[in-house]
Structure 1
Amino acid sequence: MERISLADRDPTEAVEGVHLALLAGAESTNVQHFEIEPGAVVEEHSHPHEQTGFVYEGELTFLVAGEEVVCGPGDSYAIPGGQPHAAENRGEEAVRGVDVFSPPRENPGWQDDGESD
């Protein structure tokens, strides 16, 4: 069993105002914590991984296929692999939550050079 505490990780600022920390991973999935500051934007991107997540604080607006979907505390979401998507924190408080990726994002681009994949 792998146990990783968020307190044991130093989040990386993937893009301005977006802090990510890879947590536990297994053969088929891994977990990432995110904190997105007010006004921060994750530009449209895609990756082959399925992405499911849960927001526990703040409100995050996703832009997917021309639609806006707002996720707030207690909301979960699922984004199919390969689906272009973006996200914005339009609120006045940080958004915090967790993402689960399948297959695992073992070495995302932002981890090394600040780029999101």
Structure 2
Amino acid sequence: MDHVPFDEAETYEPDEGWRRASLAGSDKFTFEWFEKPPGHSSPMHDHENEQVCVCLAGELTVHTESETVVLGEHDSVHLEAWESHRVENAGDERAVGLDVFAPGRGFDFWTDREE
């Protein structure tokens, strides 16, 4: 068993106010908690990992090249590997979510990213 207390989890900020925390995981899958400030959007991107994004608080808008969905509390969306997408907090309140990636990935996806 690998216990990860939330207040001791490894964290990083890809952008100001967009905080991510690494929760339990392995090479096969990873869980990342995140919060997005009002008006923040990740850039359009893709990756080799399948992803499930769950909205825990607030509202998250997920855009792909062909559709847009708005996630309310406890809603989720599944993104295929290499499916281009971006996640936005279009609201006036902080939004919180949980990303699950398979296979697992590290923080270097955002920290070592070239624009």
Same fold, judged at TM 0.5 (above): yes
Query: 2:109, 2:65 → 1: CA distance?
Result: 23
Shift of 1:108: 2.8
Cα 1:107–1:16 shift into 2, 3 Å:
closer
Q: Identity over the aligned pairs, expressed in percent?
A: 34
Cα 1:107–1:39 shift into 2, 3 Å:
closer
The count of aligned residue pairs is: 114
TM-score by length of 1: 0.87
Query: 2:71, 2:53 → 1: CA distance?
Result: 10
**SS of the residue aligned with 1:96?**
strand
Task: Give RMSD over aligned pairs.
Answer: 1.7
Q: Which position in structure 2 is the counterpart of 1:109?
A: 109
What runs of 5+ residues in structure 1 fail to find an aligned partner?
Answer: none
AA of the residue aligned to 2:48: P
Measured against aligned partners, the alpha-carbon deviations of 1:50-106 in whole angstroms (never above 9, x if no partner) come to 001211101011111231110110101110110000111110111112111000003
Contact persistence 2:10–2:22 (CA under 8 A): no
What runs of 5+ residues in structure 2 fail to find an aligned partner?
Answer: none
Contact persistence 2:27–2:105 (CA under 8 A): no
Query: 1:83, 1:16 → 2: CA distance?
Result: 25
Contact persistence 1:53–1:97 (CA under 8 A): yes
Query: 2:54, 2:30 → 1: CA distance?
Result: 14
Shift of 1:107: 4.5
Q: Which position in structure 2 is the counterpart of 1:7?
A: 7
Contact persistence 2:38–2:93 (CA under 8 A): yes
Contact persistence 1:62–1:85 (CA under 8 A): yes
Query: 1:107, 1:86 → 2: CA distance?
Result: 17
Q: Which 4+ stretches in 1 moved above 3 angstroms?
A: none
Residue 17 in 1 paired to residue 27 in 2? Answer: no
Shift of 1:10: 4.9
Residue 35 in 1 paired to residue 66 in 2? Answer: no
**SS of the residue aligned with 2:43?**
strand
Query: 1:24, 1:39 → 2: CA distance?
Result: 28
